[in-house]
Amino acid sequence: MIRTLPRLLALSLAIALPGPALAAQTYALVVGADKYPNDVSLDGAVRDAEDVYRAMSAAGFTVVKFTDAEARKDVIRKAWTDMVATAAAGDTIIFTYAGHGAQMPELVAGDEADGLDEFLQLPGFDRNRYEETSNEIIVDNEMNAWFAEAEGKGVHVLFVSDSCFSGGMSRSVTGKSRLAPAVKVKLAPPSQEAIDGASFKEIDFKQVTVLAASLESQPTPEVIIDGEPRGALSWSFARAVEGSADRDGNGLITRIELEDYIFSNVKNRSEALQVPNFMPQVARSESEVVVTLTRGLPAGTASDTAAADRIVKPAGELGWTGKIALRIDGDAARPDRADGAGTPFRWDVASGVFYTPNGDVAAENVGPDRIQAVVDKFVLLDFLKAVASQNPGSVSLTPVKDIYAAGTRLRFDAPPGRYPNMLVFNLANTGEVQFLDMQAAGSGASQFKLTDVEVVKPFGADHLVTIWTAEPVDAIGAVLADPNVTAAALLQALTTRLDGKAASVAIQPLYTRETL
């Protein structure tokens, strides 16, 4: 739980620049692997690939997909070669990968600052039979050579890697990590490209963008989304391609639009376990386009409405059911709204610990008198995540960690949004709703800051929520201002007034424990 002291400061608005004048063709190569005969298999990578494939097919892209045993290096390489041969200058190739990543001693001496090459591990690779199966890894040098082929033709490349190569976490999460064991001994290069590609550096590319699931210092865990194991990056990228990242509705997703969308939704869906990593780290320009949702149409014709007027789907059409799945270990009555489907939350009645589907400790000292409030909090949180998936906002918590110890002091920032009204509140690990701020149109809306947030008992998972909307918020504010407000009452107010309406939501998870 947190103790807060708010501060308010003003924030200037940014100016968006227009995109290029003409859209082009987009080709996509989708790879996902769950079944690794020679390593730990995964649970959600094929589901990721199927989701991304559906989204990109619906967007009109020319898509090729390989999953599990189909994901062989020779067929992937041929598909890439064919796409580069077909694409013309100005077109885009998107390559998405969901599966294991790993590291090995660098193949070219002095090529890597850390002395390690990264590689995508395909299902056919067996580190105990490297010579026979080395053709079933794709080393980073090889990928650089592939990217150079496309860039040489003036073709843009976006590589989305939902895997990991190193890192560890402080939180105890039960989902599988997409990190395969490192190869410890120096081995022969799997191809001549693995040598030649060392001459191409990511900083030298002018039309290549890489989006990795997490920083190199972090793991990439599989997390539970809509009751199923998934990769948070793949899930978010699929929603982006469906159009949610296209904020101005012009059929073009700029690098900045994609950044804003991906960072927020990966945080929401991974419960702040990972931070995506873009390369280059800074957009080449404010108007740089990385995904084109139209096929050869003039830019700006993809939508006849402004972003604020786009159709907003109710949460129920986005997978929200108004209930969660809950496993009860012990003798206790089942609370309301806890009979949902999918990977369940878990309540240990004897210890009073309430766990998320990912295995995190969400709340302590949860007895029969408190369990309904905790369940209602996560039902409400799922609703807010559904709304955020269409139009996420951006907030920050510093310092950035995956878990915080008692006594830690933090800073929370929520800037003004695109809509004139703002609500800020905390959903505590107890299920308690803590009202922090409301700013209405004409009231001189400013940046909301909590400059002295202290981690105190009880420990678990708090969620700081900010909502921006053009809808009236006075009635919702009145509900929040009630010192006895419940998550169920707040959910009713939000669904009545904001479900299916234009609103932006940011969620900042805050996991705490007494000591690290």
Q: Tell me the three state secondary structure of residue 396.
A: strand
Q: What pLDDT score was predicted for residue 214? A: 87
The CATH number covering residue 284 comes to 3.40.50.1460
User: pLDDT tens across 92-144, in order?
Assistant: 999 999 999 999 888 887 677 777 889 999 999 999 998 899 999 999 999 99
Q: What pLDDT score was predicted for residue 218? A: 77
Q: What pLDDT score was predicted for residue 333? A: 97
Would the pLDDT of 183 be above 90?
no
Dist. CA 101–CA 268, nearest whole Å: 23
Would the pLDDT of 232 be above 90?
yes
Same domain, 237 and 350: no
**Structure tokens belonging to residue 133:** 């199966």
Dist. CA 162–CA 229, nearest whole Å: 13
User: pLDDT tens across 273-283, in order?
Assistant: 999 999 998 99
Burial of 10 (0-12, 13-18, 19+ CB in 10 A): exposed
Which comes out higher in pLDDT, residue 446 or 60?
60
Dist. CA 454–CA 437, nearest whole Å: 18
Least confident among 228-242, 285-299, 347-361: 285-299
For 335-357, what is the mean pLDDT? Answer: 97
What 8-state DSSP symbol labels residue 179? B
- Residue that is last in its domain, among 298, 332, 355: 298
In a domain, 246, yes or no: yes
Same domain, 68 and 117: yes
- Residue that is last in its domain, among 298, 331, 359: 298
In a domain, 18, yes or no: no
Burial of 15 (0-12, 13-18, 19+ CB in 10 A): exposed
Dist. CA 120–CA 303, nearest whole Å: 38
**What is the percent of the chain with per-residue pLDDT over 70, rounded to a whole number?**
89
Q: What pLDDT score was predicted for residue 186? A: 79
Least confident among 264-273, 290-299, 439-448, 486-495: 290-299
Average pLDDT of the residues of the chain: 89
Q: Tell me the three state secondary structure of residue 266.
A: helix
Domain count, the chain: 2
Q: Tell me the three state secondary structure of residue 235.
A: helix
User: pLDDT tens across 146-155, in order?
Assistant: 999 999 999 9
The CATH number covering residue 502 comes to 2.60.40.2470
Measured over the CA atoms of residue 362, residue 486, residue 379 and residue 310, the dihedral's sign is negative
Q: What pLDDT score was predicted for residue 305? A: 41
User: pLDDT tens across 56-72, in order?
Assistant: 999 999 999 999 999 99
Same domain, 42 and 161: yes
Which helix (H) or strand (E) covers residue 55, if one does? helix 45-58
Would the pLDDT of 240 be above 70?
yes
Confidence class for position 418, pLDDT limits 50, 70, 90: confident
Whole-Å CA distances, 24 to 61, 123, 130, 259: 10, 34, 41, 21
In a domain, 486, yes or no: yes
Same domain, 124 and 163: yes
C-alpha closest to that of 30 among 74, 80, 69? 80
Which comes out higher in pLDDT, residue 143 or 201?
143
- Residue that is last in its domain, among 298, 333, 367: 298
Which comes out higher in pLDDT, residue 191 or 246?
246
Q: What pLDDT score was predicted for residue 19? A: 42
Task: Report the relative pairing of strands 2-3 and 101-105 from DSSP bridges.
Answer: unpaired
Same domain, 322 and 468: yes
In a domain, 419, yes or no: yes
Same domain, 254 and 362: no
In a domain, 307, yes or no: no
Least confident among 212-221, 237-246, 395-404: 212-221
Same domain, 294 and 322: no
Dist. CA 160–CA 343, nearest whole Å: 26
Outline where 391-486 has alpha helix (H): 474-481
Would the pLDDT of 497 be above 50?
yes
Same domain, 294 and 318: no
Would the pLDDT of 20 be above 50?
no
Dist. CA 215–CA 221, nearest whole Å: 12
Same domain, 212 and 95: yes
Same domain, 326 and 475: yes
Which comes out higher in pLDDT, residue 295 or 477?
477
Would the pLDDT of 6 be above 50?
no
pTM of the model: 0.89
Same domain, 347 and 418: yes
Q: What pLDDT score was predicted for residue 2? A: 65
In a domain, 17, yes or no: no
Dist. CA 324–CA 227, nearest whole Å: 9
Q: What pLDDT score was predicted for residue 299? A: 47
Would the pLDDT of 364 be above 90?
yes
> Are the C-beta atoms of residues 32 and 237 closer than 8 Å to each other?
no
Burial of 99 (0-12, 13-18, 19+ CB in 10 A): buried
CA torsion, ordered 498, 499, 500, 503, to nearest 10 deg: 40
In a domain, 471, yes or no: yes
Would the pLDDT of 12 be above 60?
no
Least confident among 76-90, 162-176, 250-264: 162-176
Would the pLDDT of 5 be above 70?
no
> Are the C-beta atoms of residues 118 and 138 closer than 8 Å to each other?
no
CA torsion, ordered 47, 48, 50, 52, to nearest 10 deg: 160
The residue range of the domain holding 340 is 2-10+314-513
In a domain, 107, yes or no: yes
Would the pLDDT of 204 be above 90?
no
Q: What pLDDT score was predicted for residue 445? A: 58
**What is the percent of the chain with per-residue pLDDT over 90, rounded to a whole number?**
73
Q: What pLDDT score was predicted for residue 194? A: 72
Same domain, 135 and 261: yes
